[in-house]
Chain A
Amino acid sequence: MTSSKFEQLERELLDAVAAAGDLVSLDDVRVAALGKKGRVSELMKGLGALPPEERKDFGQAVNGLKERVSEALTRRKGALREAELAARLSTEQADITLPPRARALSEGRVHPVSQVMDEITEIFADMGFAIAEGPDIETDYHNFTALNIPPEHPARQEIDTFYFNEQEDGSRAVLRTHTSPVQIRTMLQTKPPLRIIAPGRVYRIDSDKTHTPMFHQVEGLVIDEETHFGHLKWVLESFCKAFFEVDHVKMRFRASHFPFTEPSMEVDIGYAEVGDEVRIGEGDQWMEVLGCGMVHPNVLRQVGYDPEKVQGFAFGMGIDRIAMLKYGMPDLRDFFAADLRWLRHYGFGVLDVPTLARGMSP
């Protein structure tokens, strides 16, 4: 067989491979070429009839042909498969605009009060404050008397207290009007030094846009041998900066009066109103955010502390109020109305867990 015939056969076979339009006809080409009775296989059968000196060259030529045809078949097979897959997939077109079902994880919400409590906890925990708790239904002693508000004190008349009915022994429980009784409970149980915050529900007879009969406060209390007003100032400034996530915060301390602190101050925070937004740390408007002071010596004596030896500060801050300031809810009453539209709008995502590393807000 001449080399030109080899070349012609190879051309024919490769053309057949290239011409095969699908996997079935490609296999037919393969069988026709390389099958037992294929043209290449048939060639090999003629090997024995050749003179020995030609056999080597002939064998090499046939093998070379076989290899090249095989290779062409493999390549063609790959291309045809690819084309076939593409053809099939091109018929499988989904309407990608169809909406999927919402996942529970993205539907759930955490109430702003809970979220802000988590933020407060995170910040104060870093400053070494533990979380203390106390009951909502309080004794007159814990809510008033121990806090240096004796029964006849005019301050009692100014606080709109919810009372329970009088007991046989003449005592009368109240719904706590502030978180301050937790100070008393904590100090009665613990020896100084101590640093706590006490977030929780408090109750006063009041109802308008910024007052509801139930709301949330966080109490802070530090008692040791040296904590003074400068520390209080630092704690409050540090808190406000961390909470409102600003580098600077303007605070104004106004002298005030609370029976359980002396000296007592109310604290305003500086802000600017830009459209609907409240910007903390800018502008020249003031908003009251908390009351504070050095724990009154009479209160320290009530819990068996010696005011000559220990001292410290206390503060009380409205949680709902700072939540409104930070996140822009206009009306406090909505906090407790459980309106799904409001909760979805102002609520927080499940995994929006405030941490110091991440920051307080999402």
Chain B
Amino acid sequence: MKFTLSWLKEHLETDEALDAILDKLTLIGLEVEEVFDPAAALAPFVVGEVIAAEKHPGADKLTLCQVETGKGVVQVVCGAPNARKGLKGVFAPPGAYVPGIDLELKPAKIRGQESHGMLLSERELEISDEHDGIIELPADSVVGSAAAPALGLDDPVVEIAITPNRPDCLGVRGIARDLAAAGIGKLKDDTLKAVEGAFGNPVEVGLKFSGEAKSACPAFAGRLVRGVKNGPSPDWLQRRLRAIGLRPINALADITNYIAYDRGRPLHVYDAGKLKGGVHARLGQEGEEFLALDGETYKVDEEMCVIADDSGVLGLGGVIGGEDTGCGNDTVNVFIESAFFDPIRTAATGRKLNIVSDARFRFERGVDPAFVVPGMELATRLILDICGGEASKVTLAGEPPEANRIIEFNTSQVQRLTGLEMAQVEIKMILTALGFWMSGRGPGYKVSVPSWRPDVSQGADLVEEVIRIVGVDAVEAVPMPRGQGVARPVLTTGQKRVRLARRTLAGLGMVEAVTWSFIARDAAKAFGGGGDALELANPISADLSSMRPSLLPGLVSAAARNQARGFSDVALFEVGQAYRGAEPQDQFIAAAGVRSGSAKASGAGRHWSGAAEPADMFDAKADALGVLDALGFGSKVQTERGAPEWYHPGKSGAFQLGPKTVLAHFGELHPRVLEQLGLEGPICGFEVFLDALPEPRRASRTKPALQSSDLQIVRRDFAFLVDDAAAAGDVIRAAKGAEKELISDVTLFDVFTGTGVPEGKKSLAIEVTLTPRDKTLTDAQIEEVAAGVVAAVAKATGGELRG
């Protein structure tokens, strides 16, 4: 919503400075978005008078002007045909920047004659396209004074954001009323007077609805003004419209636009000579269409409220008028429409046809239903003043919707909701200034809501009115009551796990990324997603259209982008949500990461102490296990095959609790998937499903006593020959299980194939640690355990002790 300061002052009597007005607007909820002071751009220019003019001796079309600038007389060479003695114009001194020619002026010699500055045309000032001559200012302009006031361009333009609940402030008068209530001046009396109709309205006005559709247009007022003379509207009106960015059209059209902005009341004018029969509002019919004022032809449907005559649809009620019946310079008889259109239907029509208009903007937010006829009277008055003519009586079809709402309001609610203690009289003063009417003795009142405030319907709304005018500065900050003692912990198990997983992965040298929740559909499909239910209907781009089924595609793409920038050793992770379906329970939290190049936890890239090896699936496995370990599940999981298809089929696995609960996947990613995501592989990754971890059993905080003894521990190495396909994990588990009392640890320290190892076999070497409990182990005991280890491994894997 835009307006100028002088326009505001037509409704508001105030001496406050512009800045004070702007600050107040912002505080009371009419947020100032922009202030444009046209005078600022015109600051270098002053009123100059040509005190002598003679022909340039060397050029026919040039004039030598002696210009009084207020700071002395200078010579200016001027090419304008209207340059003459006595003319007062806009003088640009040397050093001034002239926007229309994009030039900073310097003293110059033109055909041998000195020229110290310029007399400007409107185009050179960029205030219009006019360039037939230099500007001629009114004779009473003061020489040497700033040019802006003389040009009538010293009226600051203010643009404010209007929240959807305040249709009343889509008119300047509404803004003035708010400011007056907030102590910025006094709202001027409304001078609106009805115009006596000189004759009966010959244009029949009707509402043709049935049943519930009546709400589409409950009231329609019409009146004819005959014998008008249309044409350009007067300067003051054109200037105001131009200042707020509207293009003047002709007086009749300009008047309706003016009232839309002055009062928030959209109107429409028809050239009565082009109407066929009476005018009525009704619902559209399938197949109907009309040519609108914006030059487009619109098809209407049975949900839309149209204005029609005997020939068919003329326009869309509250949205846009028709071209065929619009007013032009030849209009003699004008028919004025002032109606009330249903906000919801108007909004739906505008949305469906994608028409944005000042009328729609106002009707869909709710115009003042009580202003249907007064708006008509205001329009009539302006038309008579500007275009002359004679007005008919007003015809009103239907009734505007009842706007008289009464709220039972106890002023104690102000304190209850805001904490601010206010006198009843103070509250009453504010509400009254805003147009509310309060009756009763207090603190309980009956409050009548003004017709222009559709947003106010209950006590809390009135509290808002009071507090926004008083300002929250008046409210004292009050500490919230605290619980006794130290603040209690608040995080849930899941929230703690997310935080711990994040810091653990960062501690493993990975860098946390936050990537989009939506990805390209193809990428989603490659990771088991991409279903219709998770596809956005209106994505911002095709690359961001599918809710991600996994965090990995986003991370792999991020790694690819870093790779393209020359960073090939990338260790990225993310802890965040992904989606199996569109229901709340389908959303899950994962901690996922990728490592490319040689980005290992022990360091990346070349180094004088030895270059890092490529990161591989065991790095991903270690990362996943690191997270599970931090969360207390590291020693509880078993490693299984069966990672999903976006992993390398041979170099991937899963951590599980039992046969069903998958806690994590890890491995090298499938080369096909990497190609699709534009990454030069290999890359390894993992995903830990934090929601899949069971709630910890509520155990005691006391840790079990440490079992340690000072007796000598014993370490024995074994090398087994097993089939290539045998799992090292099985060997370790078998060895561990061979003697549960004494064997405290088994580590695998060598995997070997090649010389000395038969084809199809591999050698696995383990170190078994025996920890005696109460007395030192004898050789016989040690041998017994060793034999048990060999037997257990043989039984579990068929492995033989290597000779």
Contact = CB atoms under 8 A, between A and B. Distances in A.
Interface of A: 98-99, 101-105, 107-111, 113-114, 118, 121, 125-131, 133-137, 152-155, 157-158, 162-166, 172-173, 175, 195, 201, 203, 205, 207, 213-214, 222, 227-231, 233-235, 237-238, 252-257, 262-266, 294, 296-297, 307, 311, 335-341, 343-344, 347, 349-351, 353
Contacts of B509: 103-105, 107-108
Interface stretch (B13-21, B26-34, B56-64): B26-34
Nearest to B573: A108
B523 to A, nearest CB: 15
Nearest to B27: A254
Contacts of A136: 517, 547, 577, 579, 587
Contact of A264 (B27, B464, B512, B582): B464
17 contacts: A101-B603, A104-B508, A107-B509, A108-B512, A110-B502, A129-B490, A135-B587, A164-B536, A165-B532, A165-B537, A173-B582, A233-B472, A234-B477, A262-B461, A263-B468, A338-B555, A350-B507
A163 B536 contact: yes
B460 interface: yes
Contacts of B603: 101-102, 104
A152 B163 contact: no
B511 interface: yes
A57 to B, nearest CB: 55
A311 B416 contact: yes
B347 interface: yes
Given A110-B502, A254-B31, A229 B584 contact: no
Contacts of B477: 230, 233-234, 237
A231 B481 CA distance: 9
B419 A230 contact: yes
A339 B579 CA distance: 24
B565 A339 contact: yes
Contact of A263 (B364, B418, B490, B513): B418
The A interface is mostly helix, strand or loop, or mixed, namely mixed
A343 to B, nearest CB: 5
B513 A343 contact: yes
A329 to B, nearest CB: 13
Interface in B624-643: none
B582 A338 contact: no
B515 interface: yes
Contacts of A339: 561-562, 565
B602 interface: yes
Contacts of A153: 164
Contacts of A101: 602-603, 607, 609
B198 interface: no
B570 interface: yes
B365 A154 contact: yes
Contact of A104 (B495, B534, B602): B602
Nearest to B539: A162
Interface centre among A201, A207, A256, A307 (most CB of B within 10 A): A256
B562 A340 contact: yes
Contact of A109 (B463, B480, B512): B512
B511 A131 contact: no
Given A253-B472, A339-B561, A152 B164 contact: no
Interface residues of B, number: 100
Contacts of A231: 419, 478-480
B491 A121 contact: yes
A85 B770 CA distance: 40
Contacts of B587: 135-137
Contact of A125 (B480, B490, B567): B490
Nearest to B555: A338
Contacts, number: 254
Q: Which 7 A-B pairs have the closest CB atoms?
A: A230-B419, A104-B509, A255-B29, A255-B468, A108-B506, A338-B558, A257-B163
B540 A110 contact: no
A347 B509 CA distance: 13
A227 B348 CA distance: 39
A158 B536 contact: no
A163 B415 CA distance: 41
A209 to B, nearest CB: 16
Contact of B507 (A108, A111, A118, A266): A108
A230 B540 contact: no
A260 B376 CA distance: 36
A349 B509 CA distance: 10
A125 B489 CA distance: 7
Nearest to B467: A263
Interface in B360-410: 364-365
Given A107-B509, A135-B584, A175 B468 contact: no
Nearest to B605: A101
B751 interface: no
Given A110-B503, A165-B537, A336-B514, A157 B347 contact: yes
Contact of A338 (B348, B351, B515): B515
Contact of A257 (B29, B508, B510): B29
Contacts of A110: 502-503, 506, 512
Contact of B506 (A152, A234, A341, A350): A350
B526 interface: no
Given A153-B164, A165-B537, A201-B577, A294 B511 contact: no
A335 B532 contact: no
Nearest to A203: B517
B492 interface: yes
Contacts of A256: 29, 31, 163
A136 B510 CA distance: 26
B417 interface: yes
B513 A338 contact: yes
B492 A128 contact: no
A263 B458 CA distance: 12
A164 B535 contact: yes
B166 interface: yes
Nearest to B417: A294
Contacts of B464: 255, 262-264
A253 B460 contact: no
Contacts of A253: 471-473
A338 B512 CA distance: 8
B544 A336 contact: no
Given A237-B477, A340-B570, A350-B503, A130 B582 contact: no
